[in-house]
Amino acid sequence: MSARAQAGRLAATQTRAAEPRGTFLISTRQALRGLTRSGLFWGVGLAIYAVMLVAIFPSLKGAVDVSTYPQGLRDALGITDMSHIRPFLQVEFISYLPLVLAFYPMTVLAGTIAGAEERRWLDVLLGNPVSRRTVVLGAMAALAVVLFAILVGDAVVMWIFARLLDIDLSLSASLQGMLANWPIGLAFGAVALAVSATVRSRAAALGIAAAVMFGFYLLNLLATLVSGVAWLKWLSAFHYYGSPMTEGLFWGGAVVLLIAAGVLTAVAVAAFERRDIYT
Amino acid sequence: MTAAIATYDLTKTYGQARGIRDINLTVERGEIFGFLGPNGAGKSTTLRTVLGFMKPSSGRAEVLGFDSWTEKTRMHAHIGNLPGEFSLEDRMTGRELIRFFARLRGVRDLAFAEELATRLDANLDRPMRRLSRGNKQKIGIIQALFHQPEVVILDEPTGGLDPLVQEEFLKLLAEARERGQTVFFSSHVLAEIERLADRVGIIREGELIAVEDPTRLTQQAFRHVRIAFARLLTLEEQGSFAQLPGVEQFRAEDGQIMFDDHGSFDELVKLAAQFPVASLDVERPTLEEIFLTYYGAPASGGAAKEVA
């Protein structure tokens, strides 16, 4: 009886000490290396687009008369006055930026489990003393770092370019508009991760995550446009994203999105740890 | 001392009919164990369940006493693994891959990795996407062996290697055994199992049907017999050979008779002695033929074992 209890304790100790110390950092660093190229690609692409929008702002300023737009639509788009750079960027860029940028975390994280499995890389990687949990958390951590770096870098580029053109855009506004994409990007990435931990197909994980994202976007639009269903907005991730360029970062919403990302990541780890790795 | 690998009624079913049933297998420390079976027989399923990539449907597996599902991460610290089908990250070079795995394993000395690369003629500086299948396989072998694990598990390790490299690889496995490492490898290349393995497990349709010493396996089994006579035998005389117990596949042509003898050698020699024998050839079957006997229809007498 006591020998059995002892054996049980021994097993527990062994499980706790399963990985050599530093495995999480090694795993994260390796994932970071894998993201350098794609991170640069997304960062530069996004910077070019942001700079182009800032560059055309002076010539468009005042050309769009939003006062003719119905009030509901103006609310939905978060438009107040298009003669200032912040509402202009909010409408033309930041309001739908997650719909584009979230594809980065979604493609990366759909590849972490299902993609690596399809490529038959997991059998090699997981033959090392590294747990499935560490592989997933390391990938998530690396992606969070790279996404943050992209957003900060592009916010600074956008701000500098506005200054050069003598456009009144503060660094704080630029940072808040961009960084609001961090929690929502991680949340949609975590959707792809959680799906890829169950469906075993990278394409399916990406497709389902994208469908969820566009569904949320439409839901939020519907809640704003149709009177009587305004409560629906609470169900949409985009409500928690807010209008960061005009109203500043919605901190409470960011926390909700980060919690969602955390829960979905935990679900992904739990599902992945319980299932077979297929070839 | 716990066995290197032990499975207890290990069963894994998935999909339609595929899977393994009640595999009981023990691989002792320091031995080379060959795992033989055709494609789809369950070799990879067994190996991947032992490695903790799949959860047993029932039963369990242990490597060095670690449960392969609940203690897999700790277990992997003692195992070098070469999967049957794998890919390595496209943009990584072999050296980057080995360094990454060395960090995960806390291995600092990469001298043995370099030695392996030299002996296998592997290119460690080229990105994986620019390597041929054989050259990728070499990197796969190096990552499985460079840390000199206590247990090496290899699924079809010689696939894609040219003969010279295969030869060197088999030497490496023999050296690993001399160092006390245990090697568990699957193969359908019977010659390499016959040459290298201390024991061979034969798997058929998901069940382990025999565990044998490969040399004894060849000794125990039937013989190909060819006897040439100085004169033509009558049909009746030929028939007396064909009617001996254990004689199968009997053919007669050009004054020679040919058949497989499954064990009645005494009667055979005494019968043959009554005729003028010009030549007598007795050949051992190859392991492949023995395997086919196990795997084939149970009609060929004692060698094939019917599986319920």
pLDDT tens profile B219-246:
667 888 999 998 888 888 888 999 888 8
pLDDT category at A76 given cuts 50, 70, 90 is low
Q: Is the pLDDT of residue A17 over 70?
A: no
CB contact under 8 A, A15 and B143: no
Q: Residue ranges of the alpha helices (H) in chain A?
A: 2-16, 23-60, 71-77, 85-89, 97-101, 103-110, 116-118, 122-125, 132-164, 171-179, 181-199, 202-225, 237-241, 244-247, 251-274
B79 touches chain A (CB under 8 A): yes
Question: How confident is the model at residue B40, as a pLDDT?
Answer: 82
Of A74-78, A177-181, B42-46, B131-135, the range with the lowest mean pLDDT is A74-78
Q: Looking at chain B, which residue has its C-alpha nearest residue A276?
A: B54
Average pLDDT over residues B6-26: 89
pLDDT in tens, B191-204: 788 889 999 998 88
- For A56, phi and psi rounded to 5 degrees? -85, -10
Question: How confident is the model at residue A219, as a pLDDT?
Answer: 95
Average pLDDT over residues A3-13: 46
Of A199-203, B56-60, B252-256, the range with the lowest mean pLDDT is B252-256
Which residue in B39, B53, B73 has the most chain A C-beta atoms within 10 A of its own C-beta, making it the best mutation to test that interface?
B73
Q: Looking at chain A, which residue has its C-alpha nearest residue B80?
A: A127
| Location of each CATH 3.30.70.980 domain in chain B | 222-283
Q: Is the pLDDT of residue A10 over 80?
A: no
Q: Nearest to residue B186, comparing CAs of B163, B150, B154? A: B154
Share of chain A above pLDDT 70, in %: 88
Question: How confident is the model at residue B297, as a pLDDT?
Answer: 44
pLDDT category at A62 given cuts 50, 70, 90 is low
Q: Which residues of A touch B105 (CB under 8 A)?
A: 20, 128-129
**Residues A217, A222, A225, A227, Cα dihedral to 10°:** -140
Evaluate the CA torsion angle B89, B93, B94, B97 in order and state its sign.
negative
Average pLDDT over residues B117-126: 96
Average pLDDT over residues A112-141: 95
CB contact under 8 A, A124 and B85: no
Question: How confident is the model at residue B300, as a pLDDT?
Answer: 36
- CA of A13 vs chain B CAs: smallest distance (Å): 11
Token pair belonging to B171: 């030497």
Question: How confident is the model at residue A18, as a pLDDT?
Answer: 75
Alpha-carbon distances, residue A96 vs A101, A250, B137 (angstroms) = 9, 16, 46
B279 versus A77: the higher-pLDDT residue is B279
Interface contacts A/B by beta carbons within 8 Å: 87
Mean per-residue pLDDT over chain B, rounded:
88
Q: Is the pLDDT of residue B301 over 60?
A: no
CB contact under 8 A, A26 and B103: yes
A19 touches chain B (CB under 8 A): yes
Question: How confident is the model at residue B212, as a pLDDT?
Answer: 85
- CA of B85 vs chain A CAs: smallest distance (Å): 7
CB contact under 8 A, B76 and A129: yes
Residue type, B121: D
CATH for B222-283 (3.30.70.980, 3.40.50.12160, 3.30.470.20, 3.40.50.620): 3.30.70.980
Residue B62 forms beta bridges with which residues? B6, B67
CB contact under 8 A, A120 and B73: no
Q: What 8-state DSSP symbol labels residue B162? A: -
Question: How confident is the model at residue B298, as a pLDDT?
Answer: 41
Question: How confident is the model at residue B16, as a pLDDT?
Answer: 65
Q: Looking at chain B, which residue has its C-alpha nearest residue A279?
A: B85
The DSSP annotation for A79-102 comes to -S-TTSHHHHHIIIIITTHHHHHT
CB contact residues (below 8 A), chain B span 132-191, against chain A: 140, 143-144
Strand pairing class (B151-155; B79-82): parallel
Q: Is B216 exposed, middle or buried (0-12, 13-18, 19+ CB in 10 A)?
A: exposed
Q: Which residues of A touch B73 (CB under 8 A)?
A: 18-19, 129-131
A20 touches chain B (CB under 8 A): yes
- CA of A278 vs chain B CAs: smallest distance (Å): 8
Predicted-complex ipTM score? 0.86
Contact between B116 and B152 under an 8 Å Cβ cutoff? The reply is no
Average pLDDT over residues A183-194: 98
Q: Nearest to residue B112, comparing CAs of B86, B84, B142? A: B142
B83 touches chain A (CB under 8 A): yes
pLDDT category at B290 given cuts 50, 70, 90 is confident
B51 touches chain A (CB under 8 A): yes
Q: Which of B74, B79, B81 sits opposite A18 (nearest CB)?
A: B74
Of A145-154, A205-214, B91-100, B228-237, the range with the lowest mean pLDDT is B228-237
Contact between A236 and A223 under an 8 Å Cβ cutoff? The reply is yes
Question: How confident is the model at residue B280, as a pLDDT?
Answer: 92
Q: Which of A18, A26, A279 sits opposite B104 (nearest CB)?
A: A26
Q: Which of A27, A119, A277 sits opposite B54 (nearest CB)?
A: A277
- CA of B81 vs chain A CAs: smallest distance (Å): 6
Contact partners, residue A53, CB within 8 Å, separation at least 6: A88, A89, A92, A93
CB contact under 8 A, B104 and A15: no
B277 versus A18: the higher-pLDDT residue is B277
Q: Which long-range contacts (CB under 8 A, 24 or more apart) does A78-81 make?
A: A78/A243, A78/A246, A78/A247, A80/A246
CB contact under 8 A, B104 and A17: no
Average pLDDT over residues B108-124: 96
Share of chain B above pLDDT 70, in %: 92
Q: Nearest to residue B102, comparing CAs of B147, B144, B142? A: B147
Contact partners, residue A261, CB within 8 Å, separation at least 6: A183, A186, A187, A189, A190
CB contact under 8 A, A14 and B71: yes
pLDDT category at B209 given cuts 50, 70, 90 is confident
Question: How confident is the model at residue A146, as a pLDDT?
Answer: 98
- CA of B83 vs chain A CAs: smallest distance (Å): 6
CATH architecture of the domain with residue range B5-217: 3-Layer(aba) Sandwich (3.40)
pLDDT category at B259 given cuts 50, 70, 90 is very high
A15 versus A98: the higher-pLDDT residue is A98
> Domain limits of chain A?
2-274
Contact between B277 and B228 under an 8 Å Cβ cutoff? The reply is yes
pLDDT category at A75 given cuts 50, 70, 90 is low
Average pLDDT over residues A140-152: 98
B53 touches chain A (CB under 8 A): yes
Question: How confident is the model at residue B192, as a pLDDT?
Answer: 80
Q: Which residues of A touch B94 (CB under 8 A)?
A: none
B45 touches chain A (CB under 8 A): no
Q: Which residues of A touch B101 (CB under 8 A)?
A: 128
Q: Is the pLDDT of residue B169 over 80?
A: yes
Average pLDDT over residues A220-229: 89
CB contact under 8 A, B51 and A127: yes
Q: Nearest to residue A200, comparing CAs of A106, A119, A102, A105? A: A119
Which residue in A122, A128, A131, A274 has the most chain B C-beta atoms within 10 A of its own C-beta, making it the best mutation to test that interface?
A128
